[in-house]
Amino acid sequence: MARKKRGRKLDAILLLDKPEGLSSNHALQRVKRLFDAQKAGHTGALDPIATGVLPICFGHATKASTFMLVFDKSYQAKIHLGETRTTGDREGETLDTVDISSLTVEQIQSVLAEFVGEQMQVPPMYSALKKDGKPLYEYARQGIEIERDARPITIYSLEFVSYEAPYLIIDVACSKGTYIRTLAEDIGSKLGVGAFIEDLRRTSVAGFEGDKIYTLDELEAMESKDDVLLPVDAALQDVPKIKLNTKESHKVRNGQVLDLGDYPSEDLIRMYDVDDQFIGVGEVKQSTLYIKRLMV
């Protein structure tokens, strides 16, 4: 006899304001217990020192997390100039310090402008990327340096907020796969003074910008927690939508492709039935609708 899953079946998304000092997985487990959910996952881990938007997906929403990972993100970063550290953030050991007394705002703004646009970035050793099934940070803690290939990223905007030595604050809008600690180190290197991340806050992800995000303390104090949950398709509002008739919906639910006739190709498309129920995500190629992921 199969074991009955603990918790309740819940299909939704929660926008968590991840606290500092907690790993994304620990934050996820606390939220899962708070909502007594059978199944939950997060999209795009934040380092323990980082705070901000961490979408928590329950039930069928975990199927949408794959698509959310490819969306753009925004951050506010507090960068410590004039010092480099082993981990690229304040938790590492100091490697070198440089006098920054002559550094000007004009110099900083000029360098920041150079980082806007498409570029190649080498992922940091202190990251969750894996080599032979083991995260790079585990090698780094053993003093082992692994060669990493540079990867294409895009910095859409990099705005100067303030500078009060040694702290530079910037707002960054970037593509998936961008490491802000590496960006900070590269900025410091370009300035010739070195740098590391002092504080980092993710301000938006997967189109969730301006939406209310909730702290663990706020959630624990709520009587009706479900009121703050978002529907499964909330993260895909920028993806084109198609409404299928009853026959088409039946075919899609059974894994069949659809001939849409003269329909423009789309990378991704949201599929709904006649009752406007979200069915899943598809992809249109040469007027044929292929199923990427069903949400029912």
Positions marked catalytic? 47
Are 25 and 246 a contacting pair, CB within 8 Å?
no
CB atoms near residue 94 (< 10 Å): 11
Backbone angles phi, psi at 37, to 5 degrees: -95, 145
Q: Which residues contact 226 (CB under 8 A, 6 or more apart)?
A: 12, 35
DSSP letter at 159? Answer: E
Give the three-state DSSP class for 73. strand
**117-121 and 134-135: which strand pairing?**
unpaired
List b or e across 148-182, with b for residues whose CB sees 16 or more CB atoms inside 10 angstroms.
eeeeebbbeebeeeebeebebbbebbbebebbbbb
Give the span between the Cα atoms of 245 and 258, in whole angstroms.
12
The CA distance from 156 to 172, in Å, is 8
How far CA 99 is from CA of 90, 188, 206, in Å, comes to 18, 12, 39
